[in-house]
Amino acid sequence: MPASLIQVKDLCKNYKKFNAVKSVSFDIPRGQIFGLIGPDGAGKTSIIQCLAGVLSANRGEVSINGINCLKNPEKVKSIIGYMPQGLGLNLYDNLSVEENINFFRELRGVSDKTFLANRNRLLEMTRLAPFLKRPAGKLSGGMRQKLALICTLIHLPDILLLDEPTTGVDPISRRDFWEIIHDIVSERGVTVLLSTSYMDEAERCHQIAMMHQGEFIAQGTPAELAKTMRGQLLDISTPTGDNLLQTLRDWPMCETVVQIGQHYRLLAADNIDNQLDLESSLRASLKGSLSQQIRIKHPSPSLEDIFIQHTSTEKTAHLSSHIFESSWAKQKQIESAIHTTNISCQFGDFKAVDKVSLTVKPGEIFGLLGPNGAGKTTLIKMLCGLQNNSGGSAQVIGYDTASEKRQLRHRIGYMSQKFSLYRDLSVVENMHLYSGLYGIKKAVREQRIEVLLTQLDLAGLGNRNTLSLPLGIRQRVALACALIHQPLLLFLDEPTSGVDPVARRQFWEIVHALAENEGVTIIVSTHYMDEAEHCHRLGFMQQGRMVITGTPDQLKQQAEQIDGSLVTIESEQFSAAFEALKPEFSNAIYYGRRVQWQSKTPQQDQNHATKILEQSGIAATVGCHPLSIEEAFVSFIQHDLSLQDQLGAA
């Protein structure tokens, strides 16, 4: 029996001249979750496919349970479950939920006894039993992933290989997915190798390897990696919401700083050990009353902070001054950038958007959050004039979306998640194409392209083919194309999906500058809950309805009033802690490496949890944390679902 169930040594994979994986090595003991963490193109998928026996390697050794799976891939396929990247990519859309499960049962040759017991348990865990007759193609993204997991687990594999299983999945489905993974690991000792671009998911793993450009840049437990952070992190805010970005950037102790909504996350140099001295130095650098008004906190480093410190070797270029002609944002004075009244869209009996009334101010960053299938994309299409209303009315930057579509489309920009560039064209050729589509005169076109290339840090890349560019840079090219006609309103659909944290921070800095310097209104949809903090206001959608709108802080405060404060349990034995606490606290969930739940009696719960853990011999820290946007989102969506169920029953 090998010391580790999975052993990888000096693995290399090349695609012609491109080195996708560069000499990586790692071991995974039985019953552990090992995470490959990094952006698209880091090499995560190539590693998983080599282990799954669907991809050859150029060099190295890979063994699973003592079997060389590079030389004998067929021998390991009976003990592994492989889930490829993509929402339910291993499913057959024209088959129902039940038919897909039966197909994979036949494919794996599962006995009747094993199949029935495992099928019922998995349907219970995923809550898919009511949807057995529904075609897979009609499921939401989250439901598709849970069905794909059932099909992957139906033969009770000892090893799970999961390639970005939660990308594009809403937060509630992500929580369900992770609870299932932790259950099968704790109950059956299943070993899991998974990849993800969500840094918060890395906290749920026993061991992680951060990947960048085909290499491991850091490896260890999340706790071990957190200790490697150099310097001190500060969270800075003001009660008046002053813009401190440039001031903080000019502070000599500042290594990096990023604006997150009304807060600034700053990494200070590590040559001052005392926190009070560091705060005094910062306050002394500020002018006037600001030195006393600022609020300073000392947050713990996140894995995103660690990743950025490992991959960001120099200070990045920043958007300076204006990228639009100075008069553009003032050409059309409007009270509301978006104003809708009971806007609806219906396809047959299905209500994709149900009486949404919404007002967005000029220059506001407004975030749309909702589960898969909530109606976000349909609403955006209606606001762009690409989808007709079934009812209600909408004015976008002063134009009626029903009768003035032509005028509207020349005043808005749209950056889609999947397709916005022609990859066989160069950067400049793409920008010229978009200029022509928007009817921009040649005399103006060259100047605008030059300004955008400079301000978006794309200078020198104009002649590069977009297919050859890293995803983060390609994203900025797509943004440049969306801005070439200087729109008053910009729609961003999942703009940073799969992009590394450094590029994500750069992108959001540009978004803030567009809103503040140019007066551009920005509507963004995202599944990254931490990105929601960048928005001035948020709208939570569910089943086509706008459940609630408000600032991030307002929504968190309201959610806390509804469901209580957040009780947290932090322990090296977090799985054992969860098992001990779950019988008493039914709403307890995993979040990273901690167990947590909302409670209206937090002190009573803390005392009770402490007693349970002491009796179980589990060392843990019990306390309270402020609610995040994710908790607020889940709270409102679940309450809305409960309310709709009650109305349906009545």
Whether 635 and 598 have beta carbons less than 8 Å apart is answered as yes
* Angle subtended at Cα 569 by Cα 565 and Cα 575, rounded to the nearest 5 degrees: 135
| Residue 486 maps to a domain | yes
Q: Determine, yes or no, domain membership for 517.
A: yes
Q: Which residues contact 55 (CB under 8 A, 6 or more apart)?
A: 13, 46, 49
**Who wins on pLDDT, 255 or 10?**
10
On whether both 558 and 520 belong to a single domain, the answer is no
What pLDDT is attached to residue 646? Answer: 66
Which residue has better confidence, 77 or 645? 77
Least confident of 328-342, 390-404, 630-644: 328-342
Q: What is the pLDDT, as a whole number, of residue 1?
A: 40
Stretch 269-278: mean pLDDT: 72
Does residue 512 carry a pLDDT above 60?
yes
pLDDT value, residue 417: 67
- Its sign, for the CA torsion 73, 498, 528, 344, is negative
pLDDT at 203: 82
Number of domains composing the chain = 4
Query: What would the pLDDT profile of 79-93 be if each residue is shown by its tens digit?
Result: 899 998 877 778 999
- Please list the residues that pair with 549 across neighbouring strands: 539
467 and 336 within one domain: yes
The segment with the largest mean pLDDT, out of 93-107, 128-142, 185-199, 582-596, is: 93-107
Q: For the segment 581-597, what is each residue's pLDDT rounded down to a tens digit?
A: 989 998 888 776 789 99
Q: Percent of the chain at pLDDT above 70?
A: 94
Amino acid at 83: M
Same domain, 142 and 271: no
Q: Is residue 348 part of a domain?
A: yes
Q: What is the average per-residue pLDDT within 573-583?
A: 87
**Whether 489 contacts 396, CB under 8 Å:** yes
Residues 147 and 290 in one domain: no
Burial class (CB in 10 A: 0-12, 13-18, 19+), 315: exposed
pLDDT band at residue 104, thresholds of 50, 70 and 90? very high
More confident residue, 614 or 89: 614
334 in a structural domain:
yes
The enclosing domain of 603 has a CATH number of: 3.30.70
Residues 432-448 have pLDDT tens digits of 999 998 889 888 899 89
Strands, DSSP E only, in 594-640? 594-599, 621-625
> What is the predicted pLDDT for the residue at 502?
78
Give the residue from 516, 545, 574 where a domain finishes.
Answer: 545
Beta pairing class for 594-599 and 589-591 = antiparallel
- Judge whether residue 331 has pLDDT over 50: no
pLDDT at 145: 86
Side-chain-facing half-sphere of 131: CA atoms under 13 Å? 20
pLDDT in tens, 30-74: 999 999 998 878 899 999 999 998 899 999 999 998 889 888 888
- pLDDT computed for residue 330 by the predictor: 46
Residue 216 predicted with pLDDT over 90: yes
Average pLDDT over residues 552-573: 91
**Chain mean pLDDT for the chain:** 86
Q: Which two tokens stand for residue 377?
A: 């994309």
Beta bridge partners of residue 36, listed in sequence order: 195, 209
Determine the residue type at 163.
D
Same domain (yes/no): 275, 337: no
Buried b / exposed e over 516-535, threshold 16 CB at 10 Å, is ebbbbbbbbbbbbbbbbbbb
Same-domain check for residues 375 and 391: yes
Residues 408 and 505 in one domain: yes
Residues 387 and 530 in one domain: yes
What is the end-to-end Cα distance of the chain in Å, rounded? 59
Locus of tokens 């002491």: 614
Answer yes or no: do 486 and 569 share one domain. no
User: Within 13 Å and on the Cβ side, how many CA atoms surround 200?
Assistant: 16
Distance CA 52, CA 467 (A): 28
Q: What is d(CA 141, CA 128) in angstroms, rounded to the nearest whole number?
A: 13
- Mean pLDDT, range 477-494, rounded to an integer: 90
Dist. CA 285–CA 250, nearest whole Å: 9
Whether residue 321 has pLDDT greater than 70: no
- 550-560 pLDDT, tens digit per residue, is 999 899 999 99
Nearest partner of 252 among 237, 266, 273, 235, judged by Cα = 266
The lowest-confidence range among 536-540, 578-582, 603-607 is 578-582
Choose one of 225, 249, 278: the last residue of a domain.
225
- The answer as to whether 312 is a domain residue is no
The pair of structure tokens assigned to 265 is 């996350």
C-alpha dist (Å) from residue 127 to 95, 265, 461, 575? 19, 39, 49, 22
Tell me, yes or no, whether 411 and 459 share the same domain: yes
Span 229-272, pLDDT tens digits: 888 899 998 877 677 888 888 888 888 888 887 788 898 887 66
Same domain for 461 and 334, yes or no, is yes
Spatial CA neighbour of 208 closest among 218, 198, 200? 218
Please state whether beta strands 295-297 and 232-237 pair in parallel, antiparallel, or not at all (unpaired): antiparallel
pLDDT of residue 619: 92
Say yes or no: 533 and 623 in one domain: no
Looking at residue 329, what is its pLDDT? 46
Picking from 545, 565, 598, the residue at the C-terminal end of a domain is 545
Q: With 90 as the cut, is the pLDDT of residue 94 above it?
A: yes
Q: Is residue 313 part of a domain?
A: no
Least confident of 12-26, 347-361, 499-513, 615-629: 499-513
Q: Cβ neighbours of residue 276 under 8 Å, at least 6 residues apart?
A: none
pLDDT of residue 567: 95
- Can you give the pLDDT at residue 327? 42
In a domain, 311, yes or no: no
The whole-angstrom separation of Cα 430 and Cα 421 is 7
**Shortest CA distance to 431 belongs to which of 479, 467, 492?**
479
pLDDT of residue 601: 94
Spatial distance between the Cα atoms of 543 and 370, rounded to a whole number of angstroms: 9
* Range of the structural domain that residue 102 is part of: 6-225
More confident residue, 412 or 114: 412
Q: Which residue has the tokens 């600022």?
A: 294
Least confident piece of the model among 91-105, 340-354, 412-426, 594-608: 412-426
Tell me the sheet residues that pair with 161: 82, 193
Domain CATH number, residue 133: 3.40.50.300
Helices 471-483, 501-518: axis angle to 10 degrees equals: 20
- Tens digit of each residue's pLDDT (9 = 90 or more) over 347-397: 888 889 999 999 999 999 999 998 777 888 899 999 998 899 999 999 999
Coil, strand, or helix at residue 646? helix
Alpha helices in 194-329 (DSSP H): 199-202, 222-226, 245-250, 275-285, 290-293, 303-311
Q: Which of 3-12, 50-59, 524-533 has the lowest mean pLDDT?
A: 524-533
DSSP for 491-503?
EEESTTTT--HHH
Strands 412-415 and 263-268: unpaired
In a domain, 308, yes or no: no
- Burial readout 105-137 (b: 16 or more C-beta within 10 A, e: otherwise): beebebeeeebeebbeebbebbebeebeeebbe
**CB crowding 464-476: b at 16 or more within 10 Å, else e:** bebeebebbbbbb
Strand-pairing partners, residue 59, are 12
